[in-house]
Amino acid sequence: MKFLFPCLLLIACTSGKMMNAESFSCVMMGMSEKQLVAVAGKPYSTCKNEDGSVVYEYIERFNGYNRKIMQVNYYVTVKNGKVTHKKTEKSYPPSYIYNALDYQTKNDSAKKTSTNSH
């Protein structure tokens, strides 16, 4: 019975195969490397540390209005085949890199083009 709960949790968390907040919450300390990949899918990148541990990096991007609004980087450290650490970092692009007037002009011309072509 004590092995039933982890198995059910693993089954419930493997539907997406893409790292997001829900699948990140399913990553448990002591989970095997194979279970990690089953829950979260293939990582964006991996980095091997001097101590032999490997950091798996996953990236989730939130887009809106044809631009990146937010990015969440998920880091999971695996040592000796088991998850030993996990953390997230959120980043937001600086607002000054988007020129609102250019964005409005591009959208207006795209709308005019699409309405004229019909």
Show me where the domains of the chain are located: 7-109
Q: Which CATH architecture group holds 7-109?
A: 2-Layer Sandwich (3.30)
**What does pTM read for this prediction?**
0.68
Query: pLDDT at residue 108 above 90?
Result: no
Place of tokens 């000796």: 80
* CA 84 and chain centroid, separation: 19
Query: pLDDT at residue 105 above 90?
Result: no
pLDDT in the model for residue 3: 47
Place of tokens 């101590």: 51
- Mean pLDDT along residues 65-80: 90
Q: Collapsing DSSP states into helix, strand and coil, what is residue 16?
A: coil
Q: Phi and psi of 98, rounded to 5°? A: -110, 125
Longest dimension (CA), the chain: 66
90-105 CB burial, b ≥16 within 10 A, e <16: eeeeeeeeeeeeeeee
Both structure tokens of 6: 């982890």
